[in-house]
Amino acid sequence: MKKYLLLLIVFCISVSVGAQFYKHKVNQWDSKGQRQGLWITYLDTTNKGALISKEYYKDGRETGVCLYYHTNGNVRLKFKFLKDNIKVKYFDEHHKLTRKGWAKMDYTEYNVHYYWEGIWKFYGKHRKLKTVAMFSKGNSPVVLKGEPLENNQ
């Protein structure tokens, strides 16, 4: 019986120490004033309301997979940063894919310019492909296939 109790105590201590080791600090600034690591944003200041975003930063720039949420908790926008390109997916409130494509970010000392670049696909009901369009540096798109794009696309 004592062996089991000792084993249980050792297990509980190791789990507790391991949990502390893996606990991530969030919303951290480095000495240069740049965001680092995981950043989580909520709709309210109590950090218990609706989740707005989960983003990862390295040296003040987004990296990895960043998610933005609808107020109902479903993912609204997913960025996947791949070297100089960003794979982008938009979802409606019911988590149905509405559009996907590629984007870029140009960084200057004072600004970040985000723009759609390359082929984008737009979906209608039942995830049926409505439009395929080509974007170049955020300029007006060229529709390659399907319906004309609406102004709010």
pLDDT digits (tens, 9 = 90+) for 37-63: 999 999 887 777 789 999 999 999 999
Residue 6: pLDDT band (50, 70, 90) is: very low
Amino acid present at 45:
T
What local confidence, expressed as pLDDT, does residue 43 receive?
87
What local confidence, expressed as pLDDT, does residue 125 receive?
86
What local confidence, expressed as pLDDT, does residue 131 receive?
96
Tokens at residue 83, please? 């070297």
Q: What is the mean pLDDT of residues 136-141?
A: 87
pLDDT tens for each residue of 69-128 = 999 999 999 999 998 899 999 999 999 999 999 999 998 888 989 999 999 999 998 889
| Neighbour tally for 66: CB within 10 Å | 18
- Calpha distance 136→102 (Å, rounded): 10
Which of 66, 78, 69 minimizes the C-alpha distance to 42? Answer: 69
Which of 128, 112, 111, 129 minimizes the C-alpha distance to 120? Answer: 129
The secondary structure element, H or E, covering residue 131 is: strand 129-135
Measured between alpha carbons, how far is residue 84 from residues 11, 105, 114, 145 in Å?
A: 45, 8, 12, 27
Which of 16, 60, 53, 14 minimizes the C-alpha distance to 37? Answer: 60
pLDDT at 14 over 80: no
Tokens at residue 37, please? 């690591």
- Calpha distance 22→144 (Å, rounded): 48
Tokens at residue 105, please? 């970010």
Q: Are strands 118-123 and 129-135 parallel, antiparallel or unpaired?
A: antiparallel
